[in-house]
Amino acid sequence: MDNKPTDTGTERAQIVDSLTKSIIDQARPHIDPNTSPDELEKTAAQIAERINFEANVALSELVTRYSIARPQAAVALQEPMFNRFGKNFRAQHMLMFVSVILLIITGMPLKFPELGISKFVILHLLGGIQNSTLIHRVAAVGLIIVGTWHLGYIALSRMGRTDFLLMIPRPRDIRDFIHTMLFYLGRRSSGPRFGRFSFIEKFDYWAVYWGMVVMIGSGLILWFKEAFSKGLFDIAREAHSDEGLLATLAIIIWHFYNVHFNPDVFPMSWVWWHGKLSESQMKHHHALEYAEIMNAEREALLKEQANKQKTEAQS
Task: Return the range that interacts with another protein (CB under 8 A); candidates 1-9, 10-18, 157-165, 255-263.
Answer: 255-263
CA-nearest of 310, 294, 103 to 211 is 103
Residue of 30, 226, 267, 313 that binds another protein (CB under 8 A): 226
Which residues, 58 to 77, sit near another protein by CB under 8 A? 65
Is residue 130 within the footprint of another protein (CB under 8 A)?
A: yes
Site string for another protein, 99-128 (x = CB under 8 A): ----------xx--xx----x--xx----x
For the bound state, the minimum distance from the C-beta of residue 31 to another protein, rounded and expressed in Å, comes to 41
Specify the residue, 97 or 233, whose C-beta has the smaller distance to another protein.
Answer: 233
Specify the residue, 159 or 245, whose C-beta has the smaller distance to another protein.
Answer: 245
Give the integer Cα–Cα distance in Å for 218 and 241: 9
Q: What is the 3-state secondary structure (H, E, C) of the chain?
A: CCCCCCHHHHHHHHHHHHHHHHHHHHHHHHCCCCCCHHHHHHHHHHHHHHHHHHHHHHHHHHHHHHCCCCHHHHHHHHCCEEECCCHHHHHHHHHHHHHHHHHHHHHHHHHCCCCHHHHHHHHHHCCCHHHHHHHHHHHHHHHHHHHHHHHHHHHHCHHHHHHHHHHCCCHHHHHHHHHHHHHHCCCCCCCCCCCCCCHHHHHHHHHHHHHHHHHHHHHHHHHCHHHCCHHHHHHHHHHHHHHHHHHHHHHHHHHHHHHHHCCCCCCCCCHHHHCEEEHHHHHHHCHHHHHHHHHHHHHHHHHHHHHHHHHHHHC
Specify the residue, 65 or 158, whose C-beta has the smaller distance to another protein.
Answer: 65
For the bound state, the minimum distance from the C-beta of residue 119 to another protein, rounded and expressed in Å, comes to 7
How many residues bind another protein (CB under 8 A)? The answer is 41
Residue of 134, 184, 299, 300 that binds another protein (CB under 8 A): 184
Specify the residue, 151 or 182, whose C-beta has the smaller distance to another protein.
Answer: 182
End-to-end Cα, the chain, rounded Å: 39
Site string for another protein, 150-179 (x = CB under 8 A): ------------------------------
For the bound state, the minimum distance from the C-beta of residue 90 to another protein, rounded and expressed in Å, comes to 25
Specify the residue, 30 or 187, whose C-beta has the smaller distance to another protein.
Answer: 187
Site string for another protein, 195-214 (x = CB under 8 A): ------------x-------
Q: Which residues pair with 82 in a beta bridge?
A: 277
Specify the residue, 95 or 123, whose C-beta has the smaller distance to another protein.
Answer: 123
Specify the residue, 73 or 181, whose C-beta has the smaller distance to another protein.
Answer: 181
Residue of 228, 259, 271, 292 that binds another protein (CB under 8 A): 228
Specify the residue, 232 or 271, whose C-beta has the smaller distance to another protein.
Answer: 232
Give the integer Cα–Cα distance in Å for 104 and 245: 9
CA-nearest of 68, 6, 29 to 277 is 6
Which residues of this chain interact with another protein, rule CB under 8 A? 65, 109-110, 113-114, 119, 122-123, 128-130, 181, 183-186, 207, 225-231, 233-235, 237-239, 242-243, 245-246, 249-250, 253-254, 257, 262-263
